[in-house]
Structure 1
Amino acid sequence: MPKENAEWQIMTTVAGIGVILLVATMVVVVVRSVRQPAVIGEILAGVILGPSVLGLFPGDLTGLLFPAELRPQLSVVAQIGVLLFLFVVGWEFTPATIRGHRRSTGLIWLSSIVTPMLLGVAMAWLLYPRYGVVDGRQVGLLGFTLYLSVAMSVTAFPVLARIISEYRLQSSRVGVLALALAAADDVFAWCVLAAVVALVTTSGSAALISVLAWSVIYVVAMFWVVRPLLAWAFQRMSAAQPWPVMVTAAGVLLSAYVTSVIGIHAIFGAFMFGLVMPRSLAPALRAAVQVPLERVGQLLMPVFFVVTGLSVDLTTITGMTLLITVGIVVAACLGKLGGVTVAARLSGLSPSGSLVLGLLMNTRGLTELVVLNVGLGLGLLSTELFSAMVVMAVVTTAMAAPLLSLTLRSSAAVSSRPDLRQDAGPAAPALPTH
């Protein structure tokens, strides 16, 4: 390859990342001014720079900024950002969050998972005749159905935690309950999605059994070998040394590689490495590891949103597709918002507390986009259906803040309801803003 061509590729990619960061910053500032989470601005920045907006102008500006031959390089940068994000989410998850609320979360959690999954199954059967062929290849009905059921059931744990903090619900019964439910939802959804990936990527029952067997070996090794080794290693490290963050970053990337080789996608390796990270680290050492990796992830995440935006074409959402998109949004809200609100009311929460819990659990944010990108990469989603699902993720996340404000408008009313008072437990963890 000529030197000039190689340099052009490198510098064009660098310039594209610069444009991404600049546009994302500007859009995030705008959405934050109307009390929307940063993830909404970053998703919108990706859509703006993609074919849905910038691509409509003459001169193929999207292709000029992000040439097709350079998009694999952007995808590598985006993937690193996603892996670091999921690692932090996994590290912040503590089983004690669920353990302390098993009795109160039982019915609500079942409803928050089962209701949207059943609606996802129904939606898959309705959509399969229209979207069962992607790029000329017939999609398996079972994989398509299981995948959509998972995509409809996720909750964005980090976005939820940030909203809870902003609305000062972190010590209320509803806030603590929402964190426990979202954590349980995410772990369950990742497990089912891993099974879907294995089902779709393997050919024959023998290959599927092999993937599942290696997955079990991997999980056992992570908890019984890697976790003790990490605890032993970190006990001998200092926060002043560069080794802790370097060892952790290497572990995240290598764990992601292993799960990719096994056949259950790289994102599960990053999440699992976060799960097995020692929880008993000294605060200074934990901050020395988590803060740099979290900031690098946040810096790279806008690239992920633009890579996603390049696959979103809102111009395809017309006519019947527009009706389908509206139906997907309605089904998503019925599944999470409706299912959780009704179950919470039956469990004894007040009407306003039940609605607040439903609104919190209905946020999907970056977690949904990660799931959607997995489906797109597996060939389960066409561009048209992928775009409709991205719209659903944006709408369900963006609607939370204004509806919560309406529900919690009267501070006197809030203080009069026990399930919304600040007396239920520990504060919500500080998570990424996505």
Structure 2
Amino acid sequence: MTTTELFLVAMLIVFSAPYLLWRVARTDYYAPLVVVQIIGGVLLGPGILGALFPAWHASVFNPEVITALNGIAWWAVMLFVFVAGVELDLGAAWQHRRETLVTASCALFVPLAIGCGAALLLLGWRDGWAGAEGARWQVVLGIGMACAVTALPILVLLLEKMAVLRHPLGQRILRYASLDDIAIWGVLALILLDWERVGRQAGFLLLFPVAATLVRMVMRRLAEPDRWYASLIWLAACGLAADWAGLHYMVGAFLAGAIIDARWFDQARMDQFRATLLLAVMPVFFLSTGLRTDWSMGGVAVLGGALVLLAASVAGKLAGVQLAGRILKWPRGEAGLIGWLLQTKALIMIIFANILLDRAIISAETFTALLLMAVLSTMLTTPMVAPRLRRMGIRPTAG
């Protein structure tokens, strides 16, 4: 078969298999389609499908096909992170700054500390968790931050599915997650700090505010259809500049979106654009992510590491939000509900872990453990949150 035909075979598999599993098994309560697609990527990777059918797997997912898939995946995830940046509502966070700052800080730093402790435990248990280029502090901070991440786009998806997105509680949760989203990319920039390219990085950070100011001036003067196209130009330029500086193109993608005002775009069109990304191109990212999984350390060791990280992630997030609830004197039961929603991982953590793997800060085995942790933590969310909503008597508002 030609490379084009093999590429289309891969596309056929990645779009059909997860969808059929999601529909036939009716997993939506525990695992929305996006989570099933992530699981599908792992199953299609070298550790599962590749181990069962090595010759067929090597033939279909040959270097040329993987290169083509990676190109689509890079642009897809840049667009997705860009949209996440655009949808940050810093104005709402500022209006409720004390509550938002206290909650976001507790929900970030407590799981970060516990996650760093789990990372030290794994590093002391056995070798193989650190990447070839990862200093010990980078590995520990990277794993700790992965445990603290909240996936804002998936959180929006789950809140919408449970019909509480427009409820006052849902809007509060989005404020907390938005502030933590900024911290995630700030910590990533610290981890990726490259002393050999520190001049480039300093130059990027100095020139970015100037470029952002100019872009905002231009965008205000454009009609909305032109703003969409101009945004793509700005995204590509910002991603290129950030990657050239050594900060990774994902940092550039997030910053490119963060300086864009969401009010410049019709909300319904932005929602549809995000949904289209999840439907049409993000499954390719999930497949390319699954192809990077590695079980060579041993399935038991990788699964054990995933469970350790899952415990650290969930316990840390719940403990952090409980602390915030005590400080702010929330009603009984509210902290538990918010804590379970904020521990949602999935996409943003997977993107974060992909970057750490790209830079060889973590090993492929650690990446696999983090991927499993992200999937499991996200699958826990709806079963833990839905009964709490009923007990608290919250009446969801559709929309």
TM-score, length-normalised on structure 1?
0.83
The aligned residue for residue 414 of structure 1 is 392
1:97 aligns with 2:86: no
Matches within 5 A, 1:75-86: 75-86=70-81
Q: Distance in 2 between matches of 1:119 and 1:293?
A: 33
Q: For structure 1, which segment, 60-69 or 166-175, has the greater mean C-alpha deviation from structure 2 after superposition?
A: 166-175
Matched, 1:338 2:316: no
Q: CA RMSD in A?
A: 2.7
Aligned residue number for residue 214 of structure 2: 225
Any gaps of 5 or more consecutive residues in structure 1?
A: 1-6
Partners of 1:312 and 1:387 within 8 A in 2: yes
Contact 1:31 1:38 in 2 (8 A): no
1:324 counterpart = 2:305: yes
Q: C-alpha separation between the residues in 2 aligned to 1:171 and 1:366?
A: 22
Q: Per the alignment, do residues 178 and 131 of structure 1 end up closer, same or farther by CA in structure 2, a change over 3 Å counting?
A: farther
SS of the residue 1:264 aligns to = coil
Closer, same or farther: CA 222–188 of 1 in aligned 2, 3 Å: farther
**Alignment pair present for 1:215 and 2:198:** no
Contact 1:116–1:332 (CA under 8 A) maintained in structure 2: yes
SS in 2 for 1:351: coil
Alpha-carbon spacing, 1:338–1:314, altered in 2? closer, same or farther (3 Å): farther
Change in Cα spacing, 1:94 to 1:58, as seen in structure 2 (3 Å) is closer
Match for 1:266 among 242, 249, 271?
249
Instruction: Report deviation, 1:35.
Output: 4.9
Structure 1 residue 87, shift from structure 2 partner: 1.2
- What is the CA–CA distance in structure 2 between the aligned matches of 1:294 and 1:156, rounded to whole Å? 16
Find the aligned partners of 1:109 and 1:290 in 2 and give their Cα distance: 25
The corresponding residue for 2:239 is 256
Q: Of 184, 203, 223, which aligns to 1:189?
A: 184
Distance (whole Å) between structure 1 residues aligned to residue 164 and residue 273 of structure 2: 28
Equivalent residue for 1:4? Answer: none
Partners of 1:222 and 1:276 within 8 A in 2: no
What is the CA–CA distance in structure 1 between the aligned matches of 2:259 and 2:322, rounded to whole Å? 33
Letter in 2 for 1:215: F
* 3-state SS, counterpart of residue 247 of structure 2: coil
SS at 2:193 equivalent? helix
Structure with greater Cα Rg: 1
Q: 1:269 aligns to what SS in structure 2?
A: helix
For 1:347-362, what aligned pairs fall within 5 Å after superposition?
A: 347-362=328-343
TM-score for the superposition, normalised by structure 2: 0.90
For residues 290 and 334 of structure 1, the distance between their equivalents in structure 2, rounded to whole angstroms, comes to 32
Counterpart contact for 2:224–2:264, Cα < 8 Å: no
Amino acid paired to 2:120 = W
Query: Structure 2 stretches of 5 or more lacking a match?
Result: none
Aligned residue type for 2:156: A
Q: 1:278 to 1:105 in 2, by over 3 A?
A: closer
User: 1:74-101 deviations in whole A, cap 9, x for unaligned?
Assistant: 1111011101111111111121131122
Taking structure 1 as reference, are residues 31 and 339 closer, same or farther at Cα in structure 2, changes over 3 Å only? farther
Deviation at 1:317, TM superposition (A): 4.9
Residues 1:19 and 2:13 are matched in the alignment:
yes
In 2: Cα distance, 1:123 partner to 1:24 partner: 32
What is residue 69 of structure 2 aligned with on the other side?
Answer: 74
- The Cα shift of 1:401 comes to 0.6
